[in-house]
Structure 1
């Protein structure tokens, strides 16, 4: 596969962020100032981000000019970048769609969430399904019931009916949170529920990965892949778990704005893969997480793929 400058820059930046968590603040700031060590990677990564984003933004602006000059052209289908370029600034006074730096930040946010969090989740999800074929069977039954016909378009209403698939994705997120640890800093002195006192600006690190596997939180079967734990025994619908328990999408006012969109994206990809293909992990392939702010598979996921024969 050809190398992608933006993708490599993201990988390098994530690696540097991990080191920042374990180095004294003054040390990595000095390295950043002088462009030394790991921080040299961050400088190069930011330059690559800026080049790639500038290229996308410039191309989109030219496309918009060309579109507006062609009167009578069909309605233009907007992408996310176009939506932000067309923001009504009377409603959002602090946002400036004419500022390239604002648009660069938008691109980075969506690329980080879409490329890393979703892709990483789907990778672990496919591996878990390869170990739990009974879950694949149940998902395919749900697809056949709610989405008969391989040519059927997928919309939010149809995808929201995929209860078992949703539960399976939640299990994957619980066991292999794409962002495996979080850092919080109180703005003033506080006391944690455990009774520990913390001062303002202290760095508090906690493991989302460990939280998802705690028997005290999830029961004795916490280490098992069990989509049924997300399904209500009473009505067969989705069971709600408090965000302070299922912390993958953060919690409170910092809750992930793209949570619902993420599930729609993951379901769409998962349905097309599970419906059309049989996936088998290559025998002997080593599975282990990489040291990163995103829980990548260190060696990727090597699989064999076989096209399924679908009866229409």
Structure 2
């Protein structure tokens, strides 16, 4: 209650609730939607036509940039002046609490150091690879095979990939298996509640004034009532994860939750860690893979090249690629990177200026201003990628057949600088393992051709309406030799 009342004078002082400029008028009236399918496409258009590659949404108090120099300045050079900030923490605080994605300072440093030590070890990466391979072998491929070639069998591939990544992150992070990708596709109340909570939390950031959602939260009405109920379900199930982990014992286990539980007994803090792990490892991977397979269906020549590369590296009698073989597939790596250039799982990321500042492009940033860098728009900038920036072309990442990265400040799909994603290598391993395993065995065909991808509002890019596909088997899969557990 105090948050709402104390923030009112500040909001009227800092915000412009109405602005007659073309951009703000288009945002407030949603007239941008008459020409663009997604808000991110409209932002991309505005940034492409800005000489500084920076724009201002005055009614949101938001400065948005696609300028790599600005991105480097925010994420590296002046990192301390661009924290997540209290406004961001307030927006996502009910869901993420004190998790790593919602804090700054000492709390962020502690969680990052701990996670960095664990995720950087060879043993934990081998453990993750084993989990992913088992989920592919015993669940993902049998599920796809069960619908392949059946008349009228349409599969929502996005839903399948979300279930796949949810199982993986729960086994890897908590040592528990929710079994969401069983052939019966059981309902997961936790996953459904989590989806709704992330969508409604992200909706708070879209409001022209935080006063709107804060009043709704105060009176427990509308979307805020729905959010409270969804978070309540998430809380119950997150606590159950912790309880089960304690029941099974955690002192000798490899999962990340066990390692955090060994150093703290704070139930609320552990709950926040559980939620952060799921957000990081489930939604982003599923989003990236959904867009990847959409691109494979619309660019079958790329899928052919991935299959050809894998045939040269994987032995004829070998069922699955090894960790090292996946690392040797440079064209596959380039295709995954190119997919995330055009369709990053996190389309934008915001910081809040601690003090007055001037960005490298000359933009003045007032203290307290929200400053957003936009990876989705950056992937569509001719100044960064050339005149063919809108083309899906994995070859742009290759030099003499070898993958060649660019500056992460031009390609911040995994963030960059001090907050660069700690799970980057494991996420890439998971995506590439799924990609090569599925493409070698199946053709994935879209039910609806010609339409561009549309995205629902959320913390990560969720394809609107899912990804309905028809699956055709290219290569018969041998039945699993043992039960997955």
- TM category, shorter: 0.7 to 0.9
8 Å CA contact retained: 1:183, 1:204: yes
Per the TM alignment, residue 77 of structure 1 is displaced from its structure 2 partner at its CA by: 6.0
2:282 maps to 1:115: yes
Show the counterpart of 1:71. Answer: none
2:321 maps to 1:162: no
Worse-superposed segment, 19-28 or 160-169: 19-28
8 Å CA contact retained: 1:154, 1:268: no
Worse-superposed segment, 274-283 or 163-172: 274-283
Per the TM alignment, residue 82 of structure 1 is displaced from its structure 2 partner at its CA by: 2.7
Alpha-carbon distance in 1 for matches of 2:281, 2:444? 23
2:205 maps to 1:21: yes
1:226-272: CA deviation from partner (whole Å, max 9, x where unpaired):
11111124xx3221211110011112111111111110111111121
* CA spacing shift, 1:83–1:140, aligned 2, 3 Å: farther
Show the counterpart of 2:411. Answer: 246
8 Å CA contact retained: 1:190, 1:199: yes
SS in 2 for 1:177: coil
More helix by share: 2
Per the TM alignment, residue 154 of structure 1 is displaced from its structure 2 partner at its CA by: 2.6
Alpha-carbon distance in 1 for matches of 2:308, 2:449? 30
Worse-superposed segment, 111-120 or 4-13: 4-13
Residues paired across the two proteins, number: 291
Show the counterpart of 2:431. Answer: 266
Per the TM alignment, residue 25 of structure 1 is displaced from its structure 2 partner at its CA by: 2.2
SS in 1 for 2:462: coil
Per the TM alignment, residue 7 of structure 1 is displaced from its structure 2 partner at its CA by: 1.7
* CA spacing shift, 1:145–1:294, aligned 2, 3 Å: same
Show the counterpart of 2:298. Answer: 131
Alpha-carbon distance in 2 for matches of 1:282, 1:242? 37
Show the counterpart of 2:224. Answer: 39
Alpha-carbon distance in 2 for matches of 1:54, 1:246? 37
Per the TM alignment, residue 113 of structure 1 is displaced from its structure 2 partner at its CA by: 1.9
Alpha-carbon distance in 2 for matches of 1:63, 1:79? 12
Write the mapping of 1:194-233 to structure 2, written as runs, cut at 5 A.
194-233=361-400
Per the TM alignment, residue 283 of structure 1 is displaced from its structure 2 partner at its CA by: 4.1
Show the counterpart of 1:255. Answer: 420
Q: TM-score, normalised by structure 1?
A: 0.86
* CA spacing shift, 1:272–1:83, aligned 2, 3 Å: farther
* CA spacing shift, 1:78–1:153, aligned 2, 3 Å: farther
Q: TM-score, normalised by structure 2?
A: 0.56
Show the counterpart of 1:100. Answer: 267
* CA spacing shift, 1:17–1:260, aligned 2, 3 Å: same
Show the counterpart of 1:93. Answer: none
8 Å CA contact retained: 1:280, 1:304: yes
Kindly report the root-mean-square deviation, in angstroms, between the aligned alpha carbons of the 2 structures: 2.2
8 Å CA contact retained: 1:285, 1:302: no
8 Å CA contact retained: 2:200, 2:223: yes
1:91-124: CA deviation from partner (whole Å, max 9, x where unpaired):
xxxxx2x222232222212211222110011011
**Which residue of 142, 146, 149 corresponds with 2:309?**
142
8 Å CA contact retained: 2:203, 2:457: no
Unaligned segments of structure 2, at least 5 residues: 1-184, 479-485
Show the counterpart of 1:10. Answer: 194
Alpha-carbon distance in 1 for matches of 2:292, 2:397? 16
Show the counterpart of 1:59. Answer: 244
